[in-house]
Amino acid sequence: AQTVTQSQPEMSVQEAETVTLSCTYDTSESDYYLFWYKQPPSRQMILVIRQEAYKQQNATENRFSVNFQKAAKSFSLKISDSQLGDAAMYFCAYRFSGGSNYKLTFGKGTLLTVNP
């Protein structure tokens, strides 16, 4: 079974600084997707960034980028120029790209605090 581990229950960063959230996963599959989702307090979860395992190039979305190390099964999220609105719970998630059930397997999350 696939597992996703986020070893940092909480992180904090100063506004305008950079922070990196860690994620490792375990799978025997070679073709899959990885995601970072953001869940602000009392608001719905939204997709921050996704990475296809077959792509060597790391995904980027504006201030958000990932460091995908397939051999190490590591998928970290870097947030540059942190803003107060980035404060949220961040979940790393895995999805096998085969089969028909595209269910997501989530880590336990990292609570990010942004200090002004």
Partner 1 sequence: DTGVSQNPRHKITKRGQNVTFRCDPISEHNRLYWYRQTLGQGPEFLTYFQNEAQLEKSRLLSDRFSAERPKGSFSTLEIQRTEQGDSAMYLCASSLVLGQETQYFGPGTRLLVL
Q: Which of 1, 28, 41, 43 binds partner 1 (CB under 8 A)?
A: 43
CA 73 – CA 88 distance, rounded (Å): 24
Q: Which of 8, 45, 73, 76 binds partner 1 (CB under 8 A)?
A: 45
- Identify the residue whose tokens are 């099964």: 73
Round to whole Å and give the CA distance between 72 and 63: 24
From residue 57 to residue 86, what is the string marking binding to partner 1 with x (rule CB under 8 A)?
------------------------------
In the block, tokens 């979305």 appear at 61
Rounded Cα–Cα distance for residues 82 and 78 (Å): 10
Q: How many residues bind partner 1 (CB under 8 A)?
A: 20
27, 34 contact by CB (below 8 A): no
| Only segment of 13-21, 24-32, 46-54, 66-74 that touches partner 1 (CB under 8 A) | 46-54
Residue closer to partner 1, measured from CB, 16 or 46: 46
Q: Which residues bind partner 1 (CB under 8 A)?
A: 4, 37, 43-47, 50, 91, 93, 100-109
